[in-house]
Structure 1
Amino acid sequence: MNSFIYVTHFTPRMIAFVFVGLSFMSALCSGTEFPTVFVFGDSLLDPGNNDYIITLSRANHPPNGIDFPNQVPTGRFTNGRTIVDIIGNEVGFTGFLPPYLAPNTTGRVVLQGVNYASGASGILKETGALFGGRIELDEQIDYFANTKKYIISILGTQNAANLIGKAIFTVSMGSNDFLNNYLIPILSEPKRALIPPDVFVDKLISKYSLQLTRLYSMGAHKIVVVNVGPIGCIPYVKDILNLGRYGCLEIANQIVQRFNERLKDLVAELSTNLKGSLFVYADAYRIVNDIYTNYKRYGFDVPDAACCYLLGHHGGILPCGPGPVKVCADRSKYIFWDAYHPSEAANVIITGPFGSLRNLRNLWKLQFLGINLLGSV
């Protein structure tokens, strides 16, 4: 039975259900304590893959990681944990999903899962070229193919197929295809003059469809697809365009919303056409936009500026190091850690704490029955 779960509204504590609920479903079905998880994405989810390539998009330097265990800058583009880290802790992982390129990502640790996410990467190969090295989504999927072969070498063909078929695949891509491709100031003006926004969105969706279908053909049957957030409101954009505290680049958010609408349709289409698949469309745009709009309600004092900064009214002109930077006094009061990325405090709210086993069981039952979840939970 094919299932499509569309989450259209998030409360502060609820977005994690698409990940945690699916993870719990996998654990119950497989009879194992924890599920296997494979993650594909950009700098929002990168656990340090970019530490191992030649690139300008790196975060393996202080003050990044100042709130991570042991205050270690691991290559995560935030002060602490990413969304994937927090969700993993909620489901019971004692550590963190390892970056694919880390030399110690070998042996049976791979059976718990692998994170392929890479800063500056996108759906399209050319996205993020200004940064030099990055692992675009096609290459991330190539790396998963290597992981699959490795798992087969450990478990054998049938057991490997069972593990991958029950695993959770999380894919979060698209932000850089706008920020570091189609919407680059000045450099992308010729492209925008030749390619209307709708045509560019069509190109993205067509490519994304091939990539998600390829994952399915490699054995991925439970796939969470996360949409793109309101990129027009990040400190980088606000400083580049000299926007006020509550101003956002609406044209950027409008293009992203067109992409998200098409992505929702694509996920529904794939769920219908790909036998035995379970797709979840996670509407991150809505919760992030709500946090930004109602920041006081979520406990933040500063909605528009980077906690780690050097230049710019909003701290959005330069990245968070390397080199001398300033860090805000109370990181828990800032939505943004740097010019592009949320703080750990924001990531915690985006994922939402999930401590109730009963709630997890209820979510699992709904998903197991293939019920479309419309509205809040």
Structure 2
Amino acid sequence: MMRPNNKLLLVAILGVICTGCQGKIVQFIFGDSLSDVGNNQYLSKGLAKANLPWYGIDFGNGMPNGRFCNGRTVADIIGDNMGLPRPPPFMDPSLNEDMIMENGVNFASGGGGILNETALYFIQRFSFYRQIKLFMGTQELIREKIGAEAADKFFKGSLYVVALGSNDFINNFLMPVEKDSWTYTDQGFVTYLVQTLQDQLTLLHSLGARRMLVFGLGPMGCIPLQRVLSTTGECRVRTNNLALSFNQATSKMIGDLSTTLPNATIQYGDAYDVVNDLINNPSKYGFSNSDSPCCSLGRIRPALTCIPASRLCKDRSQYVFWDEYHPSDSANELIANELIRKMGFSRSNLSEAPATAPSVAPPPAG
């Protein structure tokens, strides 16, 4: 009678120490500032940070939390709707093996790109290759904790989210001072970028990633920074065409990888059309402004980031963009819901998701 009970006890213990192996899914997120949840906060020399008011004003206690937004990221919202825990930033000093197995890890870094050479002037940021290297270190920690076989099952059962590429254009190729800008043609750079991404996804697969979600780019030429730098104030056509070329090439590449990498399920998420329509027809979606940031210094443009001296718009839910680069919480919710619809996401387990919307703080006086 004791032997079966001991087996049941062993199964219960393994279910606690290796939750991911027993069916609970966690995420490992690789990305840039659109997905960063605090990694850059801990980079002492890094210039790309969301550590000043009014970032985070509509999230939790209203204080800056490392998200380049007033509220949630698209990854936050998609994960919430899938019933997945929100992965903590890799750089969180309290991160340990138990937290990793329970929640996964977010490696995303503001300014990070697919290419190592992207956004070097931010001094400190994690490129995709660097994020993968950090993931490899994370794997070693888990192997030491639960053993190689259990760790292998844990990582093969996890979800991998990859969302990078815009910095490679905006903070590299489209800057005349950067080498890549005069080394490649537009199509040549897209080919170089997508081939590098393919190599990185193949590397992730070799490390155990079996289910990957890879996201395309939005209309980069329509972010407020690109508009204000243009002579007309309109969207920059060349920049948008580069995003479309990247998306088309990435979609094809992912289709090819899905058939060649063993046991791989790779989904491609493209919200370009809905974001483009949102920007061109904001009232259709309940917005009133889609060409300037909610948080700015008024006529002093571009201010680049939101700072304590910035003035906030009267109604943050009416603005598509929070600062010169990044969408607002309201826009992120719309984008996330469209991706959820197009990719057929559903709740992956019965665990309770975090709150689906942040508490909204009143605008500061002044």
Normalising by structure 1, report the TM-score. 0.81
SS of residue in 2 equivalent to 1:70:
coil
- Contact 1:238-1:316 at 8 Å conserved across structures: no
Partner of 1:346: 331
Tell me which residue corresponds to 1:24.
none
Q: Deviations over 1:214-263 (max 9, x none)?
A: 0000000001110111100000000011333xx21011111111111111
Q: Give how far 1:323 is off.
A: 4.3
Q: Distance in 1 between matches of 2:242 and 2:132?
A: 26
| One of 16, 20, 29 as aligned partner of 1:39 | 29
AA paired with 1:284?
Answer: A
Conservation of the 8 A alpha-carbon contact between 2:129 and 2:200: yes
Name the structure 1 match of 2:360: none
Partner in structure 1 of residue 217 of structure 2: 228
Structure with larger Rg: 2
1:306 correspondence with 2:289: no
Q: Is the 8 A contact 1:308 1:327 kept in 2?
A: yes
Q: Counterparts of 1:37 and 1:223 in 2: how far apart (Å)? A: 10
Do the aligned partners of 1:48 and 1:74 also contact (CA within 8 Å) in 2? Answer: yes
Pair 1:108 & 2:98 matched = yes
Note if 1:144 corresponds to 2:135. yes
Note the 1:175-324 alignment, pairs <5 A: 175-184=166-175, 186-188=176-178, 191-244=180-233, 247-310=234-297, 312=299, 317-324=302-309
Question: 8 Å contact 1:170–1:223 — kept in the other structure?
Answer: yes
Query: How many Å apart are 1:265 and its aligned residue?
Result: 1.1
The residue matched to 2:129 in structure 1 has which SS?
Answer: helix
Residue identity opposite 1:345 in structure 2? S
2:318 matches 1:333: yes
Aligned positions of 1:42-191 closer than 5 A: 42-53=32-43, 54-93=45-84, 96-111=86-101, 112-184=103-175, 186-188=176-178, 191=180
Deviation at 1:129, TM superposition (A): 1.1
Distance 2:121 2:346 in 1: 46
Q: Tell me how far apart the structure 1 counterparts of residues 319 and 79 of structure 2 sit (CA, whole Å).
A: 23
Shift in alpha-carbon separation, 1:253–1:153, aligned structure 2, 3 A: same
Contact 2:25/2:348 (<8 A) preserved: no
Distance verdict in 2 for CA 1:50–1:271, change over 3 Å: same
- The CA distance in 2 between the partners of 1:181 and 1:85, in whole Å, is 27
Count of aligned pairs between the two proteins = 327
Deviates more, 1:338-347 or 1:103-112: 103-112
Aligned-partner SS, 1:66: coil
8 Å CA contact 2:211, 2:266 repeated in 1? yes
Does structure 2 retain, via aligned residues, the 8 Å contact 1:227–1:283? yes
Letter in 2 for 1:333: Q
Deviations 1:22-71, CA, capped at 9 Å, x for gaps:
xxxxxxx9653x41100000000000100111211000111000001011
* Displacement of 1:311: 5.2
Secondary structure in 2 aligned to 1:259? helix
In structure 2, give the amino acid aligned to 1:352. N
Check 1:361–1:88 CA distance in 2 against 1; reply closer, same or farther (3 A cut). closer
Considering only aligned residues, what root-mean-square deviation do their CA atoms show, in Å?
2.5
Judge conservation of contact 2:82–2:348 (CA < 8 Å) in 1.
no
Give the letter for the 1:177 counterpart: D
- Pairwise CA distance, 1:154: 2.0
Percent of residue pairs identical: 37
Note the C-alpha offset of 1:86: 1.6
Q: CA 1:154/1:180 → structure 2, altered by over 3 Å: closer, same or farther?
A: same
Query: SS state of the match for residue 61, structure 2?
Result: helix
SS in 1 for 2:160: strand
Moved more, 191-200 or 123-132: 191-200
Shift of 1:271: 0.7
Go from structure 1 to structure 2 and tell me whether the alpha carbon gap of 1:222 and 1:178 turns closer, same or farther (over 3 Å shift): same
Secondary structure of 2:221's match? Answer: helix
Deviation at 1:306, TM superposition (A): 0.2
Q: Which has the higher contact order (CA 8 A, sep 6+)?
A: 1
